[in-house]
Amino acid sequence: MDMDIKVIEQMIEQALKELKNEQPKAFAPAPVEHYGVFKTMDEAISASEKAQKELLFSKIQQRQKYVDAIRAAVLKKENLELISRLAVEETEIGCYEHKLIKNRLAAEKTPGTEDLATEAVTGDHGLTLVEYCPFGVIGAITPTTNPTETIINNSISMIAGGNTVVFSPHPRAKKVSQMLVKMLNKALLEAGAPENLITMVEEPSIENTNHMIENPKVRLLVATGGPSIVKKVLSSGKKAIGAGAGNPPVVVDSTADIEKAAADIIAGCSFDNNVPCIAEKEVFAVDSICDYLIHCMKLNGAFEITDQSLTQKLVALVTTEKGGPKTSFVGKSAKYILNQLGISVDDSIRVIITEVPKDHLLVQEELMMPILPIVRVDDVDTAIEYAHEAEHGNRHTAMMHSRDVEKLSKMAKIMETTIFVKNAPSYAGIGVGGEGHTTFTIAGPTGEGLTSARSFCRKRKCVMTDAFSIR
Ligand code: NAD
């Protein structure tokens, strides 16, 4: 009897709270302080495995609700600003305004469950379905250059596919990754999702990534980063998706709209201070239009270095003895780099350009800073040949500015890149001002290309004989 009175009292208390528009305690999500961030990698993986077992039995509609919850959490103005600002502050890479665009893009244009189209075959022997099914727990390694964008993009795709994900971020993006993982898990819990759909370890490190790669509970590895980590996951003995380095070339021929080409190239090259793996990294321009192209680039915020000894000083400043980029210059602005060379410019300067021969280090190395070498060539066929060489078989991204359909087709065919952009800035290839969905994991080496939910799924067949064909 006492119990009944207590229950009635609680009900009255709740009803009164509801009348006052307060959220009754019993309906609030349970306080889970770690929100997906665990002390050890094993704990993060075990929690992920438990969550995936629950997710497996959720309805597609529920998964879509979780995807929508991730989108809404990221698109909340204060959250979007917070993660974009923190990413720049912590990594010291890129530009806040462009991180806002990229994070928004990842939240808005990553496909959800609609990406998982079922194939059906019917005939005299009945019905066969081929469906995209989850792998289970995915281990995803993320780069410093797109730390939050990759977590948002991968989380949406992987959860839409029915997977859970354990992230191994770059140690230099630890804080912002933790904040985002917590933010997303909180939003997911509020949307009724199982705990820990997204997890990570408190202290990301190479050792922890190695633990993740070795843990048998992790069924699929996805590496977004440079050659070393891609090679590592591909030699793990597990199914792995590798989204590796690029060195995107641009070809400009004599038929191009040179003024537009110059504006597009500078816009793409300076986007997030040139860190996107798709961003313009070197230009091959036909001699007859090269001077005018450079002139137009200067009208669009390019600073030209003509003195070769200054170009040498620039190279010595921003590269290591081995010839790779100095980490301290990756993702820095053109103004900052010029300042270190003793040249002061205003904020209108977005890119440093300099004419060099095709074998120059600035052309051949992926530097990820707004320095754009220009190689003058005799004709468009030579430009295409040199562009192909400079891309080093990454088959990642390339751009061409031309109105010659035949040459555009020739370059697209020869380059074999996952993304080929015609007459636009590189970022049109990931959905900024271009059609199509976005991705921040462009898997050239393993062939998934522009990854989305289906890339992180297994195709499974379900057969029903002698029925359900209604033709
Ligand atoms: P990075 O290779 O230094 O690091 C990427 C991730 O791999 C980080 O989490 C890092 O901690 C980890 N890692 C690297 N080497 C490792 C090793 N030996 N063992 C274990 N973990 C290791 O790259 P970055 O500087 O963070 O990112 C830039 C690179 O990523 C560029 O080469 C860029 O082209 C590439 N990238 C590719 C894509 C794509 O979609 N293809 C997207 C973004 C970046």
Stronger pLDDT, 392 or 2, i.e. the higher one:
392
Residues constituting the chain: 471
**274-289 pLDDT, tens per residue?**
999 999 999 999 999 9
With 80 as the cut, is the pLDDT of residue 406 above it?
yes
**413-459 pLDDT, tens per residue?**
999 999 999 999 999 999 999 999 999 999 999 999 999 999 999 99
pLDDT on residue 144: 98
Rg (C-alpha) for the chain, rounded Å, is 25
Nearest-atom index, ligand 1, CA of 146: 43
C-beta of residue 177 within 8 angstroms of C-beta of residue 155: no
In a domain, 39, yes or no: yes
Reduced to 3 states (helix: H, G, I; strand: E, B; else coil), residue 454 is helix
With 70 as the cut, is the pLDDT of residue 257 above it?
yes
For residues 283 and 300, membership in a common domain is answered with yes
In a domain, 89, yes or no: yes
What Å distances lie between residue 398 and 102, 250, 387, 394, 414, CA to CA? 20, 6, 8, 10, 11
**169-181 pLDDT, tens per residue?**
999 999 999 999 9
pLDDT on residue 25: 42
With 60 as the cut, is the pLDDT of residue 384 above it?
yes
Residue (of 34, 156, 174, 160) closest to 103 by Cα position? 156
With 60 as the cut, is the pLDDT of residue 469 above it?
yes
Q: Which helix (H) or strand (E) holds 398?
A: strand 397-401
Nearest-atom index, ligand 1, CA of 204: 11
Indicate if the alpha-carbon torsion angle 406, 408, 409, 413 is positive or negative.
positive
In a domain, 114, yes or no: yes
For residues 290 and 227, membership in a common domain is answered with no
pLDDT band at 471 (very low <50, low <70, confident <90, very high): confident
Burial 147-183 (b: 16+ CB within 10 A, else e): bbbbbbbbbbbbbbbbbbbbbbbbebbbebbbbbbbb
Find the 440 Cα to ligand 1 centroid distance in Å: 12
For residues 277 and 414, membership in a common domain is answered with yes
Name the one residue in this structure whose structure tokens are 């509020």: 190
Distance CA 448, CA 158 (A): 14
- Number of compact structural domains in the chain: 2
**Pocket (CB within 6 angstroms of ligand 1):** 141-146, 168-170, 206, 209, 224-226, 228-229, 232, 243-246, 277, 366, 440-442
DSSP type of residue 194: P
In a domain, 152, yes or no: yes
In a domain, 14, yes or no: no
Find the 445 Cα to ligand 1 centroid distance in Å: 14
For residues 235 and 294, membership in a common domain is answered with no
For residues 237 and 289, membership in a common domain is answered with no
The Cα angle at residue 437 between residues 433 and 441, in degrees rounded to 5: 110
For residues 170 and 229, membership in a common domain is answered with yes
Reduced to 3 states (helix: H, G, I; strand: E, B; else coil), residue 87 is helix
Which value does ipTM take for this structure?
Answer: 0.98
Find the 334 Cα to ligand 1 centroid distance in Å: 23
Q: Which domain holds residue 427?
A: 249-433
* Bridging pattern class, strands 442-443 and 449-450: antiparallel
In a domain, 3, yes or no: no
**84-129 pLDDT, tens per residue?**
999 999 999 999 999 999 999 999 999 999 999 999 999 999 999 9
Average pLDDT over residues 10-14: 56
Nearest-atom index, ligand 1, CA of 143: 26
pLDDT on residue 22: 46
What Å distances lie between residue 106 and 9, 19, 67, 181, 463, CA to CA? 47, 39, 12, 15, 36
For residues 308 and 175, membership in a common domain is answered with no
**292-331 pLDDT, tens per residue?**
999 999 999 999 999 999 999 999 999 999 999 999 999 9
Phi-psi region of 35 (alpha: psi -120 to 50; beta: other; left: phi over 0): left
In a domain, 6, yes or no: no
For residues 201 and 270, membership in a common domain is answered with no
Among 157, 207, 277, which is best to mutate for testing ligand 1, by the most ligand atoms less than 8 A from CB? Answer: 277
For residues 85 and 196, membership in a common domain is answered with yes
Helices (H), 341-440: 361-364, 380-390, 405-415
Residue 169's CATH number: 3.40.605.10
Structure tokens at 307: 């003195």
Find the 308 Cα to ligand 1 centroid distance in Å: 32
For residues 343 and 383, membership in a common domain is answered with yes
Find the 225 Cα to ligand 1 centroid distance in Å: 2
Query: What's the mean per-residue pLDDT of the chain?
Result: 94
